[in-house]
Amino acid sequence: MSTEPLTSEAILDAAEAALRRFGPAKTSVVDVARALEVSHGSVYRHFPSKAALREAVTARWLERVSAPLEDVVTRPGPASRRLRDWVALLAATKQAIARDEPELFETFHQIATGSREVAAVHVDHLADQAARIVADGIAAGEFTDGDPAVLGRAVLQATARFHHPALSREWADPATTTADLDAVLTLILHGLTRPE
Amino acid sequence: MSTEPLTSEAILDAAEAALRRFGPAKTSVVDVARALEVSHGSVYRHFPSKAALREAVTARWLERVSAPLEDVVTRPGPASRRLRDWVALLAATKQAIARDEPELFETFHQIATGSREVAAVHVDHLADQAARIVADGIAAGEFTDGDPAVLGRAVLQATARFHHPALSREWADPATTTADLDAVLTLILHGLTRPE
DNA sequence: TGACTGACAGATGTTGACCTTTGTCAGTCA
DNA sequence: TGACTGACAAAGGTCAACATCTGTCAGTCA
What b/e readout covers B90-121, taking b as 16+ CB neighbours within 10 angstroms?
bbbbbbebbeeeeebbebbbebbeebeebbee
**Res A195: pLDDT:** 78
Mutate to test the interface with A, among B157, B186, B193 (most CBs of A within 10 A): B157
Among A76-85, A110-119, A147-156, the range scoring the smallest mean pLDDT is A110-119
Contact A114, A106 (CB under 8 A): no
What is the amino acid identity at position A157?
Q
**Res A196: pLDDT:** 62
* N-to-C CA span, chain B: 69
β-partners of residue B193 are B143
**Res A84: pLDDT:** 98
Nearest alpha carbon to residue A134 among A69, A86, A186: A86
**Res A3: pLDDT:** 53
* Strand D positions within 7 A of protein Cβ atoms: 3-7, 14, 20-26
For chain B, how many residues are written?
A: 196
A114 φ, ψ (degrees, to nearest 5): -70, -25
Contact B89, B65 (CB under 8 A): no
**Res A31: pLDDT:** 96
Contact A151, A131 (CB under 8 A): yes
Chain A, 97-116: which have a CB under 8 Å from a chain B CB? 113
Closest chain A residue to the Cα of B160, Cα to Cα: A161
* Strand C positions within 7 A of protein Cβ atoms: 3-7, 14, 20-26
Q: What does the pLDDT average to over B22-36?
A: 95
Instruction: Report H helices in chain A.
Output: 8-26, 29-36, 40-43, 50-74, 79-100, 102-114, 116-139, 148-158, 160-163, 174-192
Nearest alpha carbon to residue B142 among B189, B188, B85, B180: B189
pLDDT at residue B181 greater than cutoff 80: yes
What is the secondary structure of B41-88 as a DSSP string? HHHTTT-SSHHHHHHHHHHHHHHHHHHHHHHHHHS-S-HHHHHHHHHH
Question: Residue B2's pLDDT band (boundaries 50, 70, 90)?
Answer: very low
Question: Is residue B5 classed as helix, strand or coil in its secondary structure?
Answer: coil
Complete domains list, chain A, with CATH? 1-47 (1.10.10.60), 57-192 (1.10.357.10)
Question: Residue A2's pLDDT band (boundaries 50, 70, 90)?
Answer: very low
Rounded to an integer, what distance in angstroms lies between the CA atom of residue B131 and that of residue A170? 20
**Res A1: pLDDT:** 41
Contact B15, B107 (CB under 8 A): no
